[in-house]
Amino acid sequence: MRRQDICFVVLFGMLQVLALARADGEDYTYDDEPLRVRIGKTELLVWNMPLDWQSAYEFCENDNSNLVVLNNREKIVKLQLFLIKNRENRQLFAYWIGGNDLEELNKWKWIPINKPFTYTHWLDGEPKRSSSKRCVGIDFPTLGRWHNSPCSHLRNFICERNI
């Protein structure tokens, strides 16, 4: 492995450790209002309020929205750029999105629209085949690529609604 590659791997690992340390902290600040971004005919609401996946799903529904469905590259890229640009406002850069395989193991689908994934943005090696990692999230160390996590983990979340 070249020296540059080793430096990159070490730096990437340090970023992951910092993100995990921050995610495990209990000193979150909660925002009363989400960050908002319009993408096409939808408005995304980025909430700084760590919840488990089911609670995030219910919160979005009670707010007349749904956990975000990232089913095309354009939407994913625009969201990634928005999150990176606004990351200094986020203490926990880990988000739930609207996918899971709770109905059938390894059959991933968008719960808000009840459709299987047709476009994916998984991190290399994901999704992990695990009966304990059933919900889809994104975070900063993976630059917005998807990974499956236990649904009980606390994460910020992203809702969307039609405009």
Radius of gyration of the chain measured on its C-alpha atoms: 16
- Reply yes or no on whether the pLDDT at 3 is more than 80: no
Q: What is the pTM of this model?
A: 0.79
Domain range for 99: 3-162
Q: For 53-109, how does the pLDDT look when each residue is reduced to its tens digit (9 = 90+)?
A: 999 999 999 999 999 999 999 999 999 989 888 876 556 689 999 999 999 999 999
Q: What is the CATH number of the domain that holds 57?
A: 3.10.100.10
In one-letter notation, the amino acid at residue 36 is: R
Rounded CA-CA distance 73/59 in Å is 26
> 3-class SS at 141?
coil
- Reply yes or no on whether the pLDDT at 27 is more than 50: no
Number of compact structural domains in the chain? 1
Q: Can you tell me the mean pLDDT for 28-33? A: 60
- Reply yes or no on whether the pLDDT at 147 is more than 80: yes
Residue 58, pLDDT score: 98
Q: Can you tell me the mean pLDDT for 131-158? A: 92
Rounded CA-CA distance 150/87 in Å is 23
Return the H-helix or E-strand segment holding 8. helix 3-24
